Amino acid sequence: MSVAAIVALFGSATFTLNQARDGLNVLGHNAGPQAMATTQLYLALADMDARMADVLLMGTDHDLGSGREDALEHYEESRARANEALLQAASLTEGDTVEERNVQAVLDGMGTYEQLATEARLTNDEAGAPPGEVDEEALATYRAATRLMHTELLPKAFNLGLDSSAIVRANHEEGQESVAIGLVWVGVVGVAAVASLVALQLYLRVRFRRRFNVLLIAATAGTVVLTVGVVLALNTSGGHQSRAKEEGLDAAMALARAGAIATDMQADQSRYLADPGRADNYQQTYLDRAQAVLFRPATNLDDYYEQIDGVTESYPDLPGSDGSDEEDPGTLGYLGQRAQDALLSGQEDALADVLAAYAAIQDRDRAMRAAAEEGDTAAALDERMGIAHSEDGVFQEYVDALNELTRLHQEAFTEGIDRGDRALAPWSWALPVGTLVLLALVVAGVRPRLAEYR
């Protein structure tokens, strides 16, 4: 009976350890990285539309900002990233008919968008449109392109990112639940094995009048150590896995969405200047997207600028976080309380840099709109191109700061997965070796008594 209990302990521990390893592998090397890549789809698509709006806005002045050639190169790079992200999304959603259709719809829509965007660019070139004055026919075509992007492609891309996160969460929770059940079984079987060894010890003591059996005592102690060791390793690994997901992957994906939405937000600046007939719509859309990135209660952009200044001035305390004002919901959005709550030790300055860069975008946005309202198209264009410059623009500073904070969370994710793997690694050999030692001790402890019985 003791031998069977030890073998059962080995079986339950092996099964549960393998489940824990599978969970770490799926989160750390399969579904997790794929979900992170899927969030890049929205960013890539938004950047494509932003670059095209900049190209149209430049008109015949190809040296505005970082230049037309630079904008077109980044357009192609974003298109390639979008295609790669679609492949990752297809891999992650394989078997889900609805999501597979969404991936295909985005792929088909990208083709249509590229045709419209190229047609708008060529039409604007042929018309010789000056900077800030997009040709009417080209503008009509671009309107169709950006409408397709914002009513079809970007919503589907955003949903694919959310669905990818949901898949990761479901896989993680299912794996953790399976390991939790396995832990119970390991504990129960371990207790049963110890009980059987104690019972065997008592039986031999009564039957053969021997006070102690040192080998069986060692086997009993070894069974306790083996059981406790496996349970501790599983608990430790599970804790590292949960922290890797929550403090690493989840936080990094939220920041990636902050970057993607902000990319579309700043592109609204170019659309605002390029399409005066819809400037009010683009201004409101800019505010809506800005509120998604970093929310403060504001009904118009002037109020919003002041609120964002308040955020950077009060950081690390966030306005409204103390709940003293019932009408103030706090500092929300991807860069608000959520981002601060996800910070790990030593990351406070990184978030401060992101918030400062974001505030700088708002300062330049205020200057751009003021120039546009005064009818100074050249000054408004200079402000916009200064924001969008790919080397030293304020939006690039925001992207760099955000990437640095994202990198820190990604490192936390990788480190958490590695620590989880290391917690389990010794048991790939310790469990079978320990089981063989226990069985040998039981046999060695019982065999002399059986010989006496004969």
Q: Is 196 left (phi over 0), alpha (psi -120 to 50) or beta?
A: alpha
Of residues 124, 134, 157, 135, the one with CA closest to residue 48: 157
pLDDT at 280: 94
pLDDT at position 452 is: 53
Q: Are 354 and 251 in contact (CB under 8 A)?
A: no
* Spatial distance between the Cα atoms of 357 and 377, rounded to a whole number of angstroms: 25
Helix or strand or coil: residue 67? coil
Q: What is the pLDDT of residue 368?
A: 96
pLDDT at 351: 94
The token duo for 55 is: 């190209």
Residue 16's nearest CA partner among 239, 244, 224, 238 is: 238
Q: pLDDT value at position 203?
A: 67
- Phi, psi (5° rounding) for residue 332? -115, -160
- b (16+ CB within 10 A) / e for 334-351: bbbbbbbebbeeebeebb
The string of pLDDT tens digits covering residues 356-391 is 999 999 999 999 999 999 999 999 999 999 999 988
Question: How many residues are listed for the chain in this entry?
Answer: 454
| DSSP structure string for 136-169 | HHHHHHHHHHHHHIIIIIHHHHHHHHHHHHHHHH
**Rounded to the nearest 10 degrees, how much is the dihedral formed by the CA atoms of 376, 378, 383, 388?**
140
Token pair of 266, please?
Answer: 């700043």
Closest by Cα among 259, 263, 256, 255 to 48 = 263
Q: What are the residue ranges in the chain where pLDDT is below 70? A: 1, 92-99, 203-212, 446-454
Report the alpha-carbon distance of residue 51 to residue 68 in Å, rounded.
9
Q: What is the pLDDT of residue 360?
A: 96
pLDDT at site 10: 83
Cα separation values, 158 from 88, 195, 262, 263, 333, Å: 14, 55, 13, 14, 16
Radius of gyration of the chain (CA): 31
Convert the pLDDT of each residue in 383-407 to its tens digit.
999 999 988 899 999 999 999 999 9
Q: What is the DSSP string of 186-214?
A: HHHHHHHHHHHHHHHHHHHHHHH--S--H
Q: What is the pTM of this model?
A: 0.87
Taking the C-alpha atoms of residue 291 and residue 331, their distance in angstroms, rounded to an integer, is 10
